[in-house]
Amino acid sequence: MTDKTLEQMRSEYGLGELDVHQVGDDPLVQFKTWLDQAIESKALEPTAMNLATATKDGLPMCRVLLLKGLDHGLIFYGNYNSVKGQHLAENPNACINFYWPSLERQVRITGRVEKLPREESVRYFKARPLASQIGSYVSKQSQIVESRAVLDQAVEALKDVTEIDCPEHWGGYRLIPEYFEFWQGRAGRLNDRICYKPTDGGWQKNRLSP
């Protein structure tokens, strides 16, 4: 593939439109509506989200995770000792981005991240498949590992185990939203963008230029 080929790659959008008057006053409700539509449309991995974090000095990093809950914030789980865990411990500001290409939509949500209460993390951990529990137990996430065989041997050593306790280094997070942006692809790259910013007792909606 050449740079010229990359320059020429593009898709035209035109499945829908988005206006301030078409979205609700509560961005969390609006997000749930779009998420439900993504799930109902059989979009590939509709709960997949790109989580961006940064060090206290502002060095960014992002990775794809799965959304695991939605209440007054967005819930996800992981290893507290991982790179993302270390970032969030020193800088709780983060950004989540959902992209559903089959619907020509994306949503960006920024806010501050807090740890879930321990009992919520334990409850979810116990509800996971045993193979996932074992994977979280043996993985020293983000640390250098000698080989795949080392991981396989650690898993093999637990093959007869029927129950795993939730590790202290593993648990949940909740991102409390402080900004939302809803994006709908449109023809000619004149995409629709609607943002929500908090005001006293509510949210202010505005259209953004593409």
CA distance 137 to 35: 30
Closest CA to 131 of 102, 103, 164: 164
- The answer to whether 57 and 90 have CB atoms below 8 angstroms apart is no
Which contacts (CB < 8 Å, 24+ apart) does range 156-161 have? 158/134, 161/130, 161/134
Determine whether 189 is an active site residue: yes
Q: Which of these is catalytic: 10, 108, 128, 189?
A: 189
CA distance 45 to 66: 8
Which sequence positions are flagged as catalytic?
189
